[in-house]
Structure 1
Amino acid sequence: MAELLLTHGYFLYEDPKELQILKPYAPLGILYLCSHLRKQGFDVDVFDTTFSSREALFTHLRTETPSVLGIYANLMTRSNVVETLKVAREAGWKTIVGGPEPGAYALEYLQAGAHYVVFGEGELTMQELLEAFRAGDVSSFASISGLAYLDSAGNMHETEPRSQIADLDSQPWPARNAIDVGRYVKTWRDAHGKGSVNFITARGCPYKCRWCSHQVFGQTHRRRDPLLVVDEVEWLLQTYTPDMVWVSDDVFTINHKWLRDYAAEMRRRGLRIPFECISRADRLNAEMLDLLAELGCFRIWIGSESGSQRILDSMDRGVKIEQVQQAVAMSRERGIESGMFLMWGYEGEELDDIEATIKHVSISKPDIFFTTVSYPIKGTPYYKKISDRLVQLKPWGTSSDREIKIKGRHSQKFYSYADKLLKDEVQLARMAGTPAAESDAAASLRREIQLARSGLHSTRMEVEA
């Protein structure tokens, strides 16, 4: 039996929404953890839940000789992780949780069954924990940085924060051989005609958006050597023969010199693979978009969030509306699709701001756009600002931060009208200047827009209780 079993709480086949999307990616976080600990001489296995079931995981925990269980938890997997902790504790496992969410809810996870919560990057903290377990030295836990635990009286103790790993090139590649990456590629290919894999070139995001969590990597930006990244890309292409890749960085185009060096090395080796990535409008210019196009970028995701400059400024986004519109236009000129993330309901948003967002997207005409109603993630400035208006409708262990209601905010019905109005206005804008603009379909769309705008105005006084 391995010294450590790593797992996570994402069950693809138990999530109807994820089954509709069918775009799973390998859990790089626990695979990086696995490779680091294996390099240090620890016996580590991974139970990849993506294509498994909770019953299979629970049976494994109940029937195998218990050792140490490490679970990655995020905002969407909380309830699955809490249930897994209960089963593991009852079966005699030592339990550890880490990831984006446990740092903000350390006490809750400890009370739900975790023996330890790991803050931030887990590699070095887990290494020291396992060394302490091997030595049987309980007293040393208090000196391990980046940790929280309960004492015998149920009081939480939190050790000193751990410094981030400065040299990412010293870390081994994620242990993809610990899971069936080929199944991820096949799932993609069967559903979409193209198989995909993922990798990262950097850790962290230095920007200060008030609603965004920095629990794991902090407000840092640490990059790997571009030549070493190309080594990994070349290996991925040879090993899994994907049709495309996903660059999982928070913001791929932050460092322009790095991107130049990366593109030059890809060019030198004759490597090119279609890919998509996330960027910021203020980190895109003609040169960078030319490089992205050369590298094979077919879609770039831009966090627009709002079409109201007032709201963007209140979010501390550090981006101008015009920059977003220009980035979308420049991408289009190079044959790169643009995707846009948008957020309704941020603190202080009014009808005028919603109309500004609709106008902004109608002018920009991105190829794809997604909306969400803003939700407060614990530990962020946004959460702290509105904490006195938050209403937890379900028990913590069976819900997520996405389900917290904000007293005094517009109703879900209001935002559904905003979604409808946005979709129809953008569709009409796309017809402009074509024969379709004078068609019966366009006339019907204009009527739908009137109804949606009427609905938006009639529900503006409906608020969350």
Structure 2
Amino acid sequence: MKSHDAVPQARDADPMKVLLIFPPPSDKYSRDYKNAIGSGVPLGVAHLGSSLERGGFKVEAFDFQIPGNNNTRLREVLRGGFGMIGLSVFTLSAHSAYDIIGKAREASPGSTFVVGGPHPTALGPAVLDECGADVAAFGEGEITIVELARAVAARESFDAVKGIAFRRGYLPSEIVTTAPQPPVEDLDTLPPPALHLFDIKKYAQPGAASLYFPSINMITSRGCPYDCSFCFKKLWGPRCRFMSVGRVMSDIAELRAKHGAGEVAFFDDTFTLDRDRALSLCEKMLEEKKPLPWRCNSRVDRVDAELLALMRRAGCYSIGFGIESGNAEVLKKCGKGITLEQVRNAVELARRAGIESRGYFIFNLHGDTRETMEETTRFALSLPLTVANFTMALPYIGTRLREIVENDPGCRVDSARWNDWSAYCDKEPLFTQGDVRADELKKIISRAYSRFYLRPSYILRALKRVNSFEQVKSYIFAAGWILSATLSSFFVKKNR
């Protein structure tokens, strides 16, 4: 395992203070979070924090997911005086992030405001025209944010900072785009995420997904070689890079010793993409006296009986599969590259190995009809899944799905909301196909949830899984949501 030498070392005796903000989804921005169910430590912010600290800066983090963290509280925090304020922005949080920038600038007018993450990377320099920030960072940010912070602290030009766009001059200002920042080739050279910036105990994962608390997220690889139409890949790119097994084990040991991790949730796109590495990692875990429980995500065509059996022995109790659709033609159109036979085989192999399966499904993919979405629901019901997640296809900026829908005369785009990023949170379809109306599409999704989770056999299995009070609270929370969705579906049907 190599030393963490990708990020430049500290050099300033009187370091500048940097505040990193994780904005909430726009639909939750207008109200305080009552709990952190469903949330986890924002790993992107934590990685940026550790790089900045290693670069010699004082760092604080502000996560709007945490109860009590709102704009009033943020104004109090901003009294500390920050030279640079960065926001990690997803499309779902873009609207709230932009509003936060405006309010924070009033409280801290001398700070340099920076946006980064998937949404700015997808939009490119144009994001500066809509967000009010001074600088936009694109792609992986660990190296870029340190270079930028040093330029801000020294009051130097940003021209030499790679991977950004920034404003130069006033009324009108010029937007300058610098050379791209190369991706980090060796992930072992990055310092571990700065989890100490967050109160781990305030985060909890839903009981339907987790069994042990606290559940701490971890990413050990970057990049995805697949070409699903609905996925945005420009942040990390198509080429896969992996942390070494030694580095992963070192980070797990730190999660357990310093943060009291009850389990690890690997958030790699495809944990088993490199089969040999996955096997080696499991073998190392088995050398521990008591391996930490963990869960991960994979693809149905990247698992087999031998691998799953070893994963279970090493502590894996749950695996997530992106199944997307129960119709072969829809799977083909979205570029998923899997078959229904592979889905059924992978879920069954996981069951035999003693690993629970989580299935992720997307309704209204390109080519979906009322009939194909019913096939998807029935397919989900036929599988021995512990968790099923049904979502609506969203045409995120930078995805092939967005281009396909825009150019297909058979798709009806809601042009008034297409570029309104707050609309991506309001659970209303942004496009429809064929004779399926928007209200019917919503009903199909809510009915899929109720048909899956309200089966007596499923409820009995779920009750047998309960092993903590946190899980009881999470199940009550989930049950309330499902009941609300079911009642909503009933009234939509009654009022049609």
TM class, shorter-chain normalised? Answer: 0.7 to 0.9
Q: Which moved more, 1:148-157 or 1:249-258?
A: 148-157
Q: Which runs of 5+ in 2 are unaligned?
A: 1-14, 408-412, 459-485
Q: Within 2, Cα distance between the matches of 1:369 and 1:423?
A: 8
**Aligned 1:66-465 pairs, distance under 5 A:** 66-90=82-106, 91-92=108-109, 93-106=111-124, 107-138=126-157, 141-152=158-169, 153-184=172-203, 194-387=213-406, 389-393=413-417, 396=420, 398-400=422-424, 405-406=430-431, 408=433, 410-419=436-445, 422=448
Aligned to 2:65: 50
Is 1:110–1:150's contact at 8 Å kept on the other side of the alignment?
Answer: no
Task: Look up the SS of the partner of 1:254 in the other structure.
Answer: coil
Task: Look up the SS of the partner of 1:63 in the other structure.
Answer: helix
Aligned to 1:38: 53
Call closer, same or farther: CA 1:298–1:346 in 2, change over 3 Å. Answer: same
Task: Look up the SS of the partner of 1:76 in the other structure.
Answer: helix
Task: Look up the SS of the partner of 1:165 in the other structure.
Answer: coil
Call closer, same or farther: CA 1:212–1:17 in 2, change over 3 Å. Answer: farther
Q: How far off is 1:357 after superposition?
A: 1.7
Aligned pair 1:10/2:20, yes or no? Answer: no
Aligned to 1:447: none
Aligned to 1:438: none
Q: Deviations over 1:242-263 (max 9, x none)?
A: 3322112111111111111111
Q: Deviations over 1:183-211 (max 9, x none)?
A: 336998xx987332121211222211111
Q: Within 2, Cα distance between the matches of 1:400 and 1:13?
A: 12
Q: How far off is 1:397 after superposition?
A: 6.2
Q: Which runs of 5+ in 1 are unaligned?
A: 433-451
Percent identity over the alignment is: 25
Q: Within 1, Cα distance between the matches of 2:453 and 2:424?
A: 33
Call closer, same or farther: CA 1:249–1:427 in 2, change over 3 Å. Answer: closer
Is 2:317–2:356's contact at 8 Å kept on the other side of the alignment?
Answer: yes
Aligned to 1:439: none
Q: Within 2, Cα distance between the matches of 1:334 and 1:244?
A: 19
Task: Look up the SS of the partner of 2:360 in the other structure.
Answer: strand
Task: Look up the SS of the partner of 1:114 in the other structure.
Answer: coil
Is 2:428–2:442's contact at 8 Å kept on the other side of the alignment?
Answer: no
Q: Within 1, Cα distance between the matches of 2:36 and 2:202?
A: 16
Q: Within 2, Cα distance between the matches of 1:193 and 1:226?
A: 23
Q: Which moved more, 1:64-73 or 1:91-100?
A: 64-73
Q: How far off is 1:290 after superposition?
A: 0.7
Q: How far off is 1:118 after superposition?
A: 0.4
Question: Counterpart of 1:32 in structure 2: which amino acid?
Answer: H
Task: Look up the SS of the partner of 2:269 in the other structure.
Answer: coil
Q: Deviations over 1:388-445 (max 9, x none)?
A: 635233983644377562255632332244336645766899979xxxxxxxxxxxxx
Call closer, same or farther: CA 1:390–1:160 in 2, change over 3 Å. Answer: farther
Q: Within 2, Cα distance between the matches of 1:324 and 1:27?
A: 30
Question: More relative contact order in 1 or in 2 (CA 8 Å, sep 6+)?
Answer: 2
Is 1:338–1:368's contact at 8 Å kept on the other side of the alignment?
Answer: yes
Q: How far off is 1:81 after superposition?
A: 0.9
Q: How far off is 1:293 after superposition?
A: 0.7
Call closer, same or farther: CA 1:417–1:70 in 2, change over 3 Å. Answer: closer
Call closer, same or farther: CA 1:58–1:46 in 2, change over 3 Å. Answer: closer
Call closer, same or farther: CA 1:427–1:200 in 2, change over 3 Å. Answer: closer
- Which has a greater percent of helix? 1
Question: Counterpart of 2:121 in structure 1: which amino acid?
Answer: G
Call closer, same or farther: CA 1:157–1:385 in 2, change over 3 Å. Answer: farther
Is 2:368–2:433's contact at 8 Å kept on the other side of the alignment?
Answer: no
Q: Within 1, Cα distance between the matches of 2:167 and 2:255?
A: 42
Is 2:223–2:241's contact at 8 Å kept on the other side of the alignment?
Answer: yes
Q: Deviations over 1:65-117 (max 9, x none)?
A: 34110111112222221111112333312100111111223424443211011
Task: Look up the SS of the partner of 1:235 in the other structure.
Answer: helix
Question: Counterpart of 1:113 in structure 2: which amino acid?
Answer: G
Question: Counterpart of 2:226 in structure 1: which amino acid?
Answer: Y
Is 1:79–1:399's contact at 8 Å kept on the other side of the alignment?
Answer: no
Question: Counterpart of 2:314 in structure 1: which amino acid?
Answer: L
Q: Within 2, Cα distance between the matches of 1:303 and 1:186?
A: 19
Q: Which moved more, 1:52-61 or 1:14-23?
A: 14-23
Q: Within 2, Cα distance between the matches of 1:297 and 1:215?
A: 30
Q: Which moved more, 1:119-128 or 1:173-182?
A: 173-182
Is 2:37–2:203's contact at 8 Å kept on the other side of the alignment?
Answer: no
Task: Look up the SS of the partner of 1:101 in the other structure.
Answer: helix
Is 1:206–1:221's contact at 8 Å kept on the other side of the alignment?
Answer: yes
Q: Within 2, Cα distance between the matches of 1:426 and 1:180?
A: 35
Question: Counterpart of 1:309 in structure 2: which amino acid?
Answer: A
Aligned to 2:10: none
